[in-house]
Amino acid sequence: MVDSIQKAKLRYKQQLSAAVAARLETAAAVGSQPHFGTILENHSPANHLAGEREPATVHSAANHLAGEQPTNEPENSQPNGETVRALAYRIRACNQNQNLFAAADLHNAETGELYAGRGSLWCCGSRFCSNCVGRLARRSAKIAEFVFANQPAKPFHDWRFVVFTMPDNQLAGLPLTAQRAVLYHAWRWLSTKSEFWKKKVAGSIKSEEFTISAERANVFHFHSNALVFGYFLDEKLLKIEWTRALKISFARFGIVWHCPTKNGLADVQISRVSKSNFKQTVSELCKYITKPQDWQKIPAAALADVAGNPRFFRAFELQGVCRTVARAIRPNQPETAPQSQPTAANRQPDFQPNADQNAYVHTKQIIVPNFLLPPERNWKPPPRPRRKSWFLRISAGEITANDYKTELSADIENAIYFRKAQLRAKFPFAEFETLSGETF
């Protein structure tokens, strides 16, 4: 019998996603603030390092602050309402009844243990989707755990967990993506340019999150969390360096920033990480960038600003030796990572079969059911030619949101068919039931 608790959980996530999709549709109609996200993300750190001149558009955030209309924005800098609409459609498709399933009697190949689970057949992969965001967080956690377990020891090197805060005293009036960009570039400067950091830190794993101020609707409290591997970090010295990084980053936006604290330093909190508190630290590091409920509190224009980005913020980043270690695994193939071996102790209580697959229909090859695979263990189907992303096609006007909807429906149907076959082959004893009542 398929568990009703699993179904209830699916329905709850479905409701959250539907609310976000509805908000996105409103946002698409409302339009949005100037689109800083793309401009700043596209301005790659490599260009900074090469000493290239910043494009004039970077400073448009400052113009915005001064109430001026930005004049030098590139043509496509306004989020395309069509792409936001298409995104809303993808989220709705991901959360439709036919796509969500609960399962009973899934078996653990190692222990033979049976368990109940749930999942989705096709995944939209959006961070706005309650159904997909947890999977992304789990993938980040897997990478962090792998790095922690496989990082070779170095003399006098330890792991530390550092929270970098950003005082919000001069952020009011900046769009969400610009507020986030201040934090992002401060981190960039600290981790690539700071001499102090280079001397002390061998590598780091960084994530970020934001909360929404109850009193001021347009101020988002952004902060970065990082797992840092290196020598002892003096808190005072790190505070000085972080404050410097923030000043430099604010200056990029034409803002002369003064830290409002008594000592004039932005706060950082450092704590030691050991084997015993590591799991807890990773869950702190890899939790969602924001709770799905928070998307509903964000003003529609700000939401369109975030959704109008071709890529979501690079919230999870590895640097230095951590990056080198992480390259040994591919997150899409966790079976090669030692942590992912399911045991009774570490198995995810909520079975999410798609956690191991990137089921983006457009960029990844269609999954071939196990029973069709030749016996060689590592055989992979030949790669499908890469299709241009839906986002780029819609924003370039090659296809309308409505045409895309038709195209996507066919793709999803195809993906669902193969996914079902694959699940049946992988879990021959299990019983699957979609929310629409179909069993397979």
Contact positions toward Zn ion, by CB under 5 A?
94, 124, 129, 131-132
Q: Given the complex with Zn ion, which of 94 and 219 has the nearer CB atom? A: 94
Region for residue 437 given its phi and psi (left: phi exceeds 0; alpha: psi -120 to 50; beta: otherwise): left
Q: How far is the CB of 185 from Zn ion (least distance, A)?
A: 30
Q: How far is the CB of 126 from Zn ion (least distance, A)?
A: 6
Q: How far is CA 180 from CA 143, 246, 335, 382, 435, in A?
A: 24, 12, 34, 40, 37
SS3 readout for 338-397: HHHCCCCCCCCCCECHHHHCCCCCCCCCCCCCHHHCCCCCCCCCCCCCCCCCHHHHHHCC
Q: How far is the CB of 282 from Zn ion (least distance, A)?
A: 23
CB atoms within 10 A of CB 254: 14
Q: Given the complex with Zn ion, which of 94 and 302 has the nearer CB atom? A: 94
CB 15, CB 91: distance < 8 Å:
no
Which residue from 177, 152, 132, 162 is spatially nearest to 238, judged by alpha carbons? Answer: 162
CB atoms within 10 A of CB 156: 7
* DSSP run (H or E) holding 273: none
Q: Given the complex with Zn ion, which of 116 and 132 has the nearer CB atom? A: 132
Which residue from 250, 62, 94 is spatially nearest to 167, judged by alpha carbons? Answer: 250
Q: How far is the CB of 278 from Zn ion (least distance, A)?
A: 29
Place of tokens 């057949």: 121
Those residues whose C-beta lies under 8 Å from the C-beta of residue 414, and which sit 6 or more positions away, are: 361, 366
Q: How far is CA 409 from CA 261, 402, 413, in A?
A: 53, 11, 6
Which residue from 15, 61, 1, 4 is spatially nearest to 35, judged by alpha carbons? Answer: 61
Q: What letter represents residue 21's amino acid?
A: A
Q: Given the complex with Zn ion, which of 90 and 200 has the nearer CB atom? A: 90
Q: How far is the CB of 100 from Zn ion (least distance, A)?
A: 10
Those residues whose C-beta lies under 8 Å from the C-beta of residue 279, and which sit 6 or more positions away, are: none
Q: Given the complex with Zn ion, which of 129 and 137 has the nearer CB atom? A: 129
Q: Give alpha helix (H) positions in 151-222.
A: 176-192, 195-200
**What sign for the dihedral angle of Cα 390, 394, 399, 402?**
positive
Q: How far is the CB of 360 from Zn ion (least distance, A)?
A: 10
Q: Given the complex with Zn ion, which of 2 and 136 has the nearer CB atom? A: 136
CB 392, CB 310: distance < 8 Å:
yes
Q: Given the complex with Zn ion, which of 196 and 360 has the nearer CB atom? A: 360
Q: How far is the CB of 220 from Zn ion (least distance, A)?
A: 23
Q: Given the complex with Zn ion, which of 120 and 224 has the nearer CB atom? A: 120
Q: How far is the CB of 253 from Zn ion (least distance, A)?
A: 33
Q: Given the complex with Zn ion, which of 134 and 308 has the nearer CB atom? A: 134
Q: Given the complex with Zn ion, which of 132 and 238 has the nearer CB atom? A: 132
Q: How far is the CB of 329 from Zn ion (least distance, A)?
A: 24
Q: How far is the CB of 143 from Zn ion (least distance, A)?
A: 20
Q: Given the complex with Zn ion, which of 10 and 132 has the nearer CB atom? A: 132
Q: Give Rg (Cα) of the chain.
A: 23
Q: How far is the CB of 118 from Zn ion (least distance, A)?
A: 13
